[in-house]
Amino acid sequence: LALAAALLWLLIGAAYYAWALTYDLGAIRDMPQRSVVLDENGNVYSRLSGENRVVVPFDEISNNFVNALITREDTRFYSHHGVDPIGIARAVVRNLLFGGMREGASTITQQLARNSFPLGGNDHSPQAHRGRARLP
C-alpha cells in the first residue's frame, strides 16, 4: 500500500512538473509596472499609476537593502526552495490561535510568482506555473 501511494505521488509530481513546464518563465521579466486592484470577484477595480516606478538593475541595489528585505520578508530565503514549511506552520498556528487570517506565509519567491503570472479563478493552470517557478 505504501509503495502504491509513493508511486501515485511520483506520477502526480511528474505530471505536475511536465504541465508547469509549458509556461515561459521569461514572463517574470514582463511583470507589469502598474499595479492592478481587483475586487472580491477577481475583476479589475482600478489601475494604479505607474509613472513613479523605475526599474533598477539588481547590481545597482544596495546589499544592505537586499539583506533588510530578506530579513523582513523571508528570513529562511537561502535555506528553502521557494516554499517555507516552517513559515506555513507558524502562520497556521498563529491564525488558529488568534482567529482569522492575521498572518501569511508566502515567501519572496511565491510573491514574485503571484505577481508575475496571471490569476485565473478556478483555473489551476496559473497555480501550477507558480509552483514551477518555485522549483530549484
pTM above 0.75, yes or no: no
For residues 113 and 96, what is the distance between their CA atoms, to the nearest angstrom?
A: 26
What residue spans of 1-136 are helical by DSSP H?
2-20, 63-73, 85-98, 108-116, 125-134
Distances from the Cα of 41 to the Cα of 23, 45, 62, 119, 136, angstroms:
25, 10, 39, 11, 33
The residue ranges of every structural domain in the chain are 2-30+61-134
φ, ψ dihedrals at 49, nearest 5°: -60, 145
- Per-residue pLDDT 10s for the chain (136 aa) are 889 999 998 998 888 778 777 777 676 666 666 677 888 888 888 877 655 567 788 899 999 999 999 998 898 999 988 888 898 899 899 889 888 777 888 888 888 877 776 555 445 455 444 555 554 4
